[in-house]
Structure 1
Amino acid sequence: EIDTAGDRYEALLNASGGVDLQILGIGTTGHIGFNEPGSSFASLTRVKTLTEQTRVDNARFFASVDEVPIHCVTQGLGTILRAKHLVLLAFGEGKAEAIAGAVEGPVTSSMPGSAIQLHSHVSVVIDEAAASKLKYADYYRWSQEHKPGWQGL
């Protein structure tokens, strides 16, 4: 029953005590999970309609873009933000704008990844190409090199 999948997932998640570690990717549109631009920061697990760009970006996993689903079930931004620790992974120049928007841009539903700025424990793991549009990349590198051992990831 796809129409109740989100509610059932949320109930199971709450009954289990929630998420300790949430590992995320980010799409070229700035989506995390499949929370496309315009998604509410309070959203819960639900069925979402994917943007055409997200479908094109994910076509590499299918025989053609026509086989990429139009809808998916995704944790909402509100669900994601309840996790104790977020780890965002991104690699390649194609993710550079999304990373810059998520990490340094304004917090806005137009850039769902920017919701990570509202969380108290986030680790962003990226390569140099994905970091290429970060204004404060040198500071981030420096702070990582001088991070106290007790902080962990």
Structure 2
Amino acid sequence: MAGTVVQASTAPKPVGAYPHARRVGDLLFLSGIGPRDPASDAIPGNDYYADGRVRAYDIAAQTRAVFANVRAVLEASGARWEDLVDVTVYLTDMARDFKAYNAVWAEHFPDPATAPCRTTLGITALPTPIAIELKCVAAIQGDTP
């Protein structure tokens, strides 16, 4: 397959057989990234029942964590936060979580004129007990891997 594959040691390991990112020309495509902690694999803001089911979660904590994980993959790829041009956001509970997630987005992208394009989708589930996942595209210049 074309392009340079990126695996970021500072981001959580992918939950399947895929890279964190792939650079093709001046475009960097990030695989779906969630909020898992890179060191412990814990999910920030999750509270569990004794049987392991999620009792409650904090979408703001998960949003901040997923943004940190996206930054880690961008940096490992030679890109910057400001290089993001398109972000697709997946929320497992759009009605409950959109307002809080959108507030955290505004903290990280305070100027809509310089923010990446964004699409937010409500979905029924993600492959781990997370409430948010991001799929990103960045435009970068230079020879950095």
Q: TM-score range by the shorter chain?
A: 0.3 to 0.5
- Structure number having the greater strand percentage: 2
TM-score (normalised: structure 1): 0.33
TM-score (normalised: structure 2): 0.34
Which structure has the bigger radius of gyration? 1
